[in-house]
Structure 1
Amino acid sequence: MASLKHQYIYLDGDSLTTEQLVQLGNGTYKIKLTPEVETKVNKSRDLVEKIIDEGQVVYGINTGFGKFARTVIPHDKLEELQENVVHSTAVGVGDPLTPERSRMLLALRINVLAKGYSGISLKTLNQIIQAFNASCLSYVPEKGTVGASGDLAPLAHLALGLMGEGKMWSPKSGWADAKYVLQAHGLQPISLKAKEGLALINGTQMITSLGVEAVERATMISRQADIIAALTLEVLKGTTRGFDSGIHDLRPHPGQVEVAARFRSLLHSDVHPSEIAGSHRFCDRVQDPYSLRCCPQVHGVVNDTIAFVKTILVTEMNSATDNPIVFAERGEIISGGNFHGEYPAKALDYLAIGVHELASISERRIERLCNPSLSELPAFLVKDGGLNCGFMMAHCTAAALVSENKVLCHPSSVDSLSTSAATEDHVSMGGWAARKALRVVEHVEQVLTIELLAACQGLEFLRPLHTTEPLEKVYQLIRSMVKPLVRDRFMTSDFEIVQKLLIEGKVWQAVQPYMEHD
């Protein structure tokens, strides 16, 4: 299994987790193979060599690709064939993946190769692992995959750098010619043998690796959205009645129940009393607007969406997505369609639609905080309104991000364009599904950043009253990094600081000891 030992994650092709892949991406761990993997990889390669020696005709080993599948390639051209498929497929455009994302992509491709169904040689696989462990990372343009025969173009660029061609990045060299980057780390470029070029470029690893980052960031921001919303509810002097466990037991969706429990842990109770809640105990309000009262129902389905998408991605991460697939035990190499990106594409479109709702409802709460007719607070949360604009334009930024997300949430996977002379006649468009899911998650983080700052600013006007102990911990965390808004100032840097706290899960860490179930 994928286990941790001495700063290494041991890959077996079957049990890599999303958390481990993110750790591999940020450079926390290096990679080693389990002993069982070496045996499987060798058996798979032995079958490829046997087929070549016997002169059998098998797609991808001694035939052309796509429309040229019926073209048989002479024995003395098989290595050139593999180089050609990488060269001809490395046609991506756009900005390169960041080193972290390129590292995740490479780690995930190694995990698939470790399954032992790709036909790659152990020598080549070990060379790739050495490059990963040295953080020698290929230049991979983010655009150019339709998610049909997997992420062909990005994976070809990944292979190209390992071959010593194109550009590479390492902490030692920055961006430079790949052959010099490898040389600087004492590494040899890989030399492709029969089937190995195709083994490196067939699969859904860019869709999936970017999707893993999206789902992990979505997980973290969804947890913290509950905390931020609870703080806003306190500032707006809302009621806790809507979070009564009896209500949610009658509609027991797991995410809804979980969010309601978090609100109960954070808001006024005998365990954690709130002076602010006590100050409006006898008011005549019966219920709050939906953006406060319905948080368990709205945030809850986001949690369930994330859990569903994560299940799909974990399966995809540990699946053989090659074509053809080498069945060493059966002595067969069979063409199939495991490379098709529809599973992760559909899941990531769903993730974008689901997680966007956290920003949509957050923007409505920001409106309530900023609007004096709804908040009973100073207009736009600032003294000397008119001279100062306060959070007026910060709310506009949140509205702009929510509006942009509405376009980004249009599913890319409903589109398909026939390519490769109608051989690849249905595609997933999964690469764009993954990239826009990440952008949606980033926008959600930014909108909730604005709400968190606005809620903390609103709290200033309720002093000397205090909220509950866990929510005071959140306030103290934010105020340790960002001062109250006494008069208008440049706020973008404040947003960046707080978004970083959210990405790192600091707000969640501040309240986790107070949670009922987490």
Structure 2
Amino acid sequence: MNDGNRIEISGAGLRCGDVVRVARHSAWVDLAPETVEQAGRSYELAIDLGAKRAVYGRTTGVGANRHTVVAPESADEHGLRLLRSHAGGTGEPLPSDAVRATMAIRLNQLAAAGSGVHPRLLRALETALRVGALPVVHSRGAIGTGDLTALAEIGLTLAGELPWAVGALEPVPISPGDALAFISSNAATLAEAVLAWHDLMQLLAASHVVTALTFCALGGSAEAYSERVHQARPHAGAVRCAAELRRLLTAAGDLPPGRRLQDPFGLRAFPQIQGPALEAAGNVERILATDLNAAAENPLIDIETQQAYHHGQFSTAHIALAFDHLRAALHHVAELSAARLSDLVEPDLSGLTPFLSEGPPGSSGIMILEYVAHDALATLRHAAAPVTLGTAVISRGLEDHASFSTHAVRSTVTATAAYRTVLACELLGAVRALRLADSRLPATPLADAFRLADAALPHLAEDHPLSTEITQAEQLLGRLASL
């Protein structure tokens, strides 16, 4: 069930958009009735299996201590020791939206009933989300093989051993075996990944609008976006991008003629560059949707077969590689935006004054925007470097691979912020050029976009500091994306 303000948590069907609504828009979470009963069955099975055979983290130590047997009489304290020893995160605390997303994702994963945790931990997470209680979760401590430090902090906060950042709940008992089962997840990385994906998708949507505004300012040739052209080489992302530009540039179906036989690449090759980024973002969404609903705990307590399975589902190579690919694709998109900004300040292409200046001869106009855009582009270029070329060997050599998916996601956050600045600089240039030329825009959503931008961004003819306008343009991109 999902009515926009209420998200049903069942261990299946949770979408990235649902997580965003819980994290940023206070959507209400409801555990599906059958999930608590299923979690109870998984909990009882885990206890039964632990009485008959070795079960990692329940009857044994963890990591290189996997062969060390835990005495039954110290099982309760063993779980708390695990939480205490693993709650060693550091760095800045995660922002509130990322913490709420982490809790929602972990709740949904536990609802898939493969962990063997006591059902009261599910109820505790549900209640915390409803009342707005948030633990302190530090940002540093994950390498893509489980968010052990972050989830141990949440577990100890639920148990009453760490203070809440916001609000509070009555302490929840930690049953034998609950500790590893609760922290055996990448929920914190997934939370940051979902929010990063959402923010980047918004910018990619805004890219179509900003590019179309620049197209009109430069008198571009829409032949490059023809349906016939893209049917001849039908890459899905490019086809989608070209269709979006046609929607923005024409109301009657006839594509406008251009000033030139062929435009610079920033206009002409936009679908071929934006398309791979759209496809990469779609691939990220598919991977995240799988992991949001996964019972990936090690070991898996499987109700159907009545067995415990030890495995490597904690590895997040899919996420790390997908985000590395997405950042590389985004870098190409940002390069085109910076190139279009350079086209806008060139009189031979715009038909306007150098740097779109309006003051006395020698005025600089928006000259500085190229510097700002290329500074941001350089930041994005560094952030686009793949994190998946490194690994780690830890726990006395037993754990000999790490995906660093958490770092891939955080590099994407950096890249997204940099692209927001690049695109904002192009938006300022396009709006200024359209004002100077007094251009008519097609009767499409693009005209609405220009009216919105024209009203939101000041028009000062004389040379002046542009910092405030860059910030205003960055904030406007989300509204343009909705068009």
The offset of 1:442, in angstroms, is: 2.0
The offset of 1:272, in angstroms, is: 8.4
The offset of 1:17, in angstroms, is: 0.4
- Following superposition of structure 1 onto structure 2, how do residues 33-48 of structure 1 map, counting pairs within 5 Å? 33-48=31-46
Classify 1:197/1:40 alpha carbon distance in 2 versus 1 (closer, same or farther; 3 Å).
same
Q: 1:291 touches 1:361 (CA, 8 Å); kept in 2? A: yes
Residue 231 (structure 2) aligns with: 249
- Rounded to whole Å, the distance in 2 between the matches of 1:369 and 1:385 is 19
The one-letter amino acid paired with 2:180 is: L
1:130-171 CA distance string (max 9 Å, x none): 1121121121122221112x121222222232223334333x
Residue 203 (structure 1) aligns with: 185
- Following superposition of structure 1 onto structure 2, how do residues 239-388 of structure 1 map, counting pairs within 5 Å? 239-268=221-250, 270=252, 283=259, 285-384=260-359, 388=363
- Structure 1 residue matching 2:198: 3-state secondary structure: helix
1:452-477 CA distance string (max 9 Å, x none): 121001111111x3121232211111
Classify 1:340/1:496 alpha carbon distance in 2 versus 1 (closer, same or farther; 3 Å).
same
Q: Give the one of 370, 388, 398 matched to 2:373.
A: 398
- Rounded to whole Å, the distance in 2 between the matches of 1:354 and 1:323 is 34
- Structure 2 residue matching 1:58: 3-state secondary structure: coil
Q: Give the one of 78, 87, 98 matched to 1:90.
A: 87
- Structure 2 residue matching 1:45: 3-state secondary structure: helix
The offset of 1:237, in angstroms, is: 1.4
The offset of 1:389, in angstroms, is: 3.0
Residue 508 (structure 1) aligns with: 481
Q: 2:8 touches 2:29 (CA, 8 Å); kept in 1? A: yes
- Rounded to whole Å, the distance in 2 between the matches of 1:371 and 1:169 is 53
Classify 1:134/1:460 alpha carbon distance in 2 versus 1 (closer, same or farther; 3 Å).
same
Is 1:227 equivalent to 2:209 in the alignment?
A: yes
The one-letter amino acid paired with 2:232 is: L
The one-letter amino acid paired with 2:482 is: Q
Q: 2:82 touches 2:180 (CA, 8 Å); kept in 1? A: yes
Classify 1:415/1:488 alpha carbon distance in 2 versus 1 (closer, same or farther; 3 Å).
same
Residue 75 (structure 1) aligns with: 72
- Rounded to whole Å, the distance in 2 between the matches of 1:479 and 1:157 is 48
- Structure 2 residue matching 1:31: 3-state secondary structure: strand
- Structure 2 residue matching 1:169: 3-state secondary structure: strand
- Rounded to whole Å, the distance in 2 between the matches of 1:306 and 1:232 is 24
Q: 1:379 touches 1:385 (CA, 8 Å); kept in 2? A: no
Normalising by structure 2, what TM-score?
Answer: 0.95
- Rounded to whole Å, the distance in 1 between the matches of 2:360 and 2:408 is 43
- Rounded to whole Å, the distance in 2 between the matches of 1:417 and 1:403 is 28
1:87-119 CA distance string (max 9 Å, x none): 111222221111011100111011100000111
Classify 1:303/1:371 alpha carbon distance in 2 versus 1 (closer, same or farther; 3 Å).
same
Q: Identical aligned pairs, as a percentage?
A: 27
Could you list the runs of 5+ residues in structure 2 that have no partner in the other structure? none
- Rounded to whole Å, the distance in 2 between the matches of 1:385 and 1:40 is 75
Residue 467 (structure 1) aligns with: 441
- Structure 1 residue matching 2:8: 3-state secondary structure: strand
Q: 1:207 touches 1:345 (CA, 8 Å); kept in 2? A: no
Residue 147 (structure 2) aligns with: 151
Classify 1:489/1:84 alpha carbon distance in 2 versus 1 (closer, same or farther; 3 Å).
farther
- Rounded to whole Å, the distance in 1 between the matches of 2:418 and 2:391 is 27
Residue 165 (structure 1) aligns with: 161
Classify 1:385/1:450 alpha carbon distance in 2 versus 1 (closer, same or farther; 3 Å).
farther
- Following superposition of structure 1 onto structure 2, how do residues 8-87 of structure 1 map, counting pairs within 5 Å? 8-52=6-50, 54=51, 56-87=53-84
- Structure 1 residue matching 2:418: 3-state secondary structure: helix
Normalising by structure 1, what TM-score?
Answer: 0.89
- Rounded to whole Å, the distance in 1 between the matches of 2:176 and 2:421 is 48
- Rounded to whole Å, the distance in 1 between the matches of 2:79 and 2:363 is 65
The offset of 1:410, in angstroms, is: 1.1
Classify 1:388/1:64 alpha carbon distance in 2 versus 1 (closer, same or farther; 3 Å).
same
- Structure 2 residue matching 1:10: 3-state secondary structure: strand
1:229-259 CA distance string (max 9 Å, x none): 1110110111112111111100011111111
Q: 1:137 touches 1:161 (CA, 8 Å); kept in 2? A: no
Q: 2:10 touches 2:111 (CA, 8 Å); kept in 1? A: yes
The offset of 1:20, in angstroms, is: 0.4
- Structure 2 residue matching 1:333: 3-state secondary structure: strand
1:398-445 CA distance string (max 9 Å, x none): 101111111111111221010111111111111101111122122222
Classify 1:57/1:394 alpha carbon distance in 2 versus 1 (closer, same or farther; 3 Å).
same
The offset of 1:390, in angstroms, is: 2.7
1:277-304 CA distance string (max 9 Å, x none): 68xx6x5x21101111011111111111
- Rounded to whole Å, the distance in 2 between the matches of 1:128 and 1:137 is 10
CA RMSD of aligned residues (A): 2.0
Q: 1:90 touches 1:153 (CA, 8 Å); kept in 2? A: yes
Q: Which moved more, 1:467-476 or 1:226-235?
A: 467-476
Q: 2:114 touches 2:296 (CA, 8 Å); kept in 1? A: no
